[in-house]
Structure 1
Amino acid sequence: MTRTTPPRPLDVEALFPELAAYRGTTTRLHPRPGSPDASDSSVGGPLLWPADEPWPLCTEPHGRRRGRRPADIHRERQVLASAWARNPDSGPTDAERQLLAELSREHRSAELAENAPLPMLGVAQLYRRDIADLPAGPDGCDLLQVFWCPFDRHRPTGYSMSLQLIWRRSWEVTEALTAPPQPPVIGSDGYVAEPCVLHPEQVGTYPFAGLLPDDLRDRIYAWEEAEEACAEEDDDAPVPPCYQYDLSIPPGWRVGGFASWHLTDPAPMDCRTCATPMELLLTIDSSEWDGGSKSWMPQEEDREAPTFLTARPTEVTVGRAGELNIFLCPTDPRHPSRWSIQ
């Protein structure tokens, strides 16, 4: 099913014509549960990986032998989804709660030696033919594959994630791996994505307000304050639109456009190889919308359904329910990427 972003609550360029010079595009991926195959762009689906090529591994020393089994995480989600769909008021039965308690247990892996190479999880793969804002890869690569380690125990803090991007030419894969290695246990459930098909949609977008020229930013803030003051005088007035959450940067998984810096101040993202300012490649978001960004909810969705049942199709959680912004060097995509959690 196509997913369509509703028109914005107002024409922000009519209020601030200067924004036209900063307008960009981003492709909302709209992941939804499905059964993708290796020829599809997907989140959490099978990847087009050569049978004779080593699978990405995390070799950084950290604890990796204790956690939850991937199969238990998927099963827990299935039980919960079925229970809440059956009865939105009470959810799981007593028997299901007992099963959920068993599925939530952590286990110690006997098959994995401490600090042994750990298979990374395939998070997503994106074909350039499907994603309007996906940049060209190096040397004609048309496929981007994203991996991460399922433990938050990496340098420099000891609590960081480990991320790997792989570019490839899809037509060169003549024999695909059908049973990729999997980590026996997972350190954090949020690293495990449910299989989702994508419904890409290109939409307009504008930079984070803090990165606009000072005068323009201050005028936007003043307009928001005036709108809020008017709304406070009328108890029946709707919540006025906000530049950050309604007019500029859409929530959810997306490719290209502008990064949000709502959790931290904007930070320079320059390539550590050539010092070129980097561009946003991919945003991995914990939810497709929430109470503050519901104006971006696609028109095809059930607006009466509880947000917790519909807005988290991938089940991925970044940090404390935030978003991961991955940046790419526009001069050479082979240069190491950088990322920020917001």
Structure 2
Amino acid sequence: MVRTTPPRPVNVVAVFPEVAEMARTATRLHPRRGHPTVHDSSVGGPLLWPADEAWPVCAAGGDHEAYELTTLADVRTLRRILVAAWARPRSPRTNLLTAEEEAVVDRIHDGYPLRELPGGPLPMIPVAQLYARDVPDLPCPEGMDLLQVLWCPFPDVENSSSAMHLRWRRSADVTDVLRRPPEPAFVGGEDYVPFPCLLHPEQVTEYQVNPETHPELAERFYRWIREQELNYDGDLSIAPGWKIGGWPARWTFTDPPAPEYWRCEECGAPVDALLTIDSSEWDGASGSWRPLEDDPDEPGYPSAYWATMVTIGRGYTLQVYRCTNSVEHPPLTFMQ
């Protein structure tokens, strides 16, 4: 099913033509629960990975930042139980789960002692796979048509760029696919395990008026926003949810780093926004971005606004930046 972002409440370019210079296109990925294959663009799905190519591992080895431990098998079991429970009819005042299901869920929520986390490298897990044919704003290097994103499923990914791995490739080159990728013995919580989703990409236009680069325009623009009692951050600027390209997610709980940090750690080249990983597809402040096809009251698990079941920090975003000089260089990431 396609997903369609409603028109913005106000056409800011009609009021301030200068803002057109600050437009960027972004592709909202609109991940929704599905059963992706290696040939699909997906979040949390299997990757078109060559059987003879090494699988990425976490650089932190056994020194992961961890506050809880669970396993991928337990996460999958928990989700299967909840998907089935929400799908079956039940009478009023009837428990969502059966007694047997509650026992399994309680056991999974108990987790495992942190001391059981093994030392040595742990395999990363798939986060996203994006084919250029599906994602208009995907900045593929020449000759390549596929981006694969993996990460360490621990809190490390929120504060360490080395916890994420980007792999660009030419899909036609992969003739022998790795059928059983290695998996880590433990993960640092369900929040770091994306629910398998198919994508419904949609290109949108974003605007960002920066007071530092356009002070005079910004003063007039934001004064008008206040006078009109508009919600600039929530309705008129940057699209929420998972997306490729566009403007980076806005900074929420902290200020942006100093300019010297906005460069590739490998070569010093400028970086540009590549992928935004969001904790929800919309929220109370950005509800106007909810696609027309999504009913916020529709029952089911997981809900459309939290289809990936990924939570960054306390509901923030993880912004992934790419080196503009070389696809071989590691990404730069910030929790924003």
TM-score (structure 1 length as normaliser): 0.86
Q: Among 242, 245, 248, which residue is 2:234 paired with?
A: 245
- Per-residue CA deviation, residues 178-225 of structure 1 (Å, 9 max, x unaligned), is 111111211122110111111111111112645651222222322232
Displacement of 1:331: 2.9
Q: What SS does the aligned partner of 2:321 have?
A: strand
| C-alpha contact 2:123 2:182 (8 A) present in aligned 1 | yes
1:118 corresponds to? 122
Displacement of 1:22: 1.0
2:136 corresponds to? 132
Please tell me the root mean square deviation across aligned C-alpha atoms, in Å: 2.8
Q: What SS does the aligned partner of 1:290 have?
A: coil
2:73 corresponds to? 71
CA distance in 2, matches of 1:36, 1:179: 15
CA distance in 1, matches of 2:83, 2:212: 40
Unaligned runs of 5+ in 1: 229-240
CA distance in 2, matches of 1:154, 1:295: 29
Q: Among 252, 255, 272, which residue is 1:265 paired with?
A: 255
Displacement of 1:133: 0.4
CA distance in 2, matches of 1:188, 1:219: 46
CA distance in 1, matches of 2:117, 2:197: 32
Moved more, 37-46 or 67-76: 67-76
Letter of the structure 2 residue corresponding to residue 71 of structure 1: A
Q: 1:61 to 1:261 in 2, by over 3 A?
A: same
Matched, 1:33 2:23: no
CA distance in 1, matches of 2:24, 2:241: 17
Q: Among 270, 273, 286, which residue is 1:277 paired with?
A: 270
Matched, 1:188 2:189: yes
Which stretches of structure 1, 4 residues or more, deviate above 4 A after TM superposition? 63-66, 84-91, 208-212
- Per-residue CA deviation, residues 115-147 of structure 1 (Å, 9 max, x unaligned), is 22211111111111211000022x522211111
CA distance in 1, matches of 2:4, 2:81: 30
Q: How does 1:154-169 map to 2 (within 5 A)?
A: 162-169=163-170
Q: Between the two proteins, what is the percent identity of the paired residues?
A: 45
- Per-residue CA deviation, residues 283-302 of structure 1 (Å, 9 max, x unaligned), is 01111001110100001011
Q: What SS does the aligned partner of 2:309 have?
A: coil
2:178 corresponds to? 177
Letter of the structure 1 residue corresponding to residue 183 of structure 2: Q
CA distance in 2, matches of 1:161, 1:282: 16
Moved more, 159-168 or 301-310: 301-310
1:15 corresponds to? 15
CA distance in 2, matches of 1:215, 1:116: 54
| C-alpha contact 1:22 1:207 (8 A) present in aligned 2 | yes
1:145 corresponds to? 148
CA distance in 1, matches of 2:189, 2:63: 12
Letter of the structure 2 residue corresponding to residue 176 of structure 1: V
Q: What SS does the aligned partner of 1:336 have?
A: coil
Displacement of 1:93: 3.5
Moved more, 11-20 or 146-155: 146-155
Q: 1:206 to 1:91 in 2, by over 3 A?
A: farther
CA distance in 1, matches of 2:114, 2:256: 41
Q: What SS does the aligned partner of 1:126 have?
A: strand
1:199 corresponds to? 200
CA distance in 1, matches of 2:311, 2:129: 18
Q: 1:25 to 1:55 in 2, by over 3 A?
A: same
| C-alpha contact 1:83 1:92 (8 A) present in aligned 2 | yes
2:107 corresponds to? 102
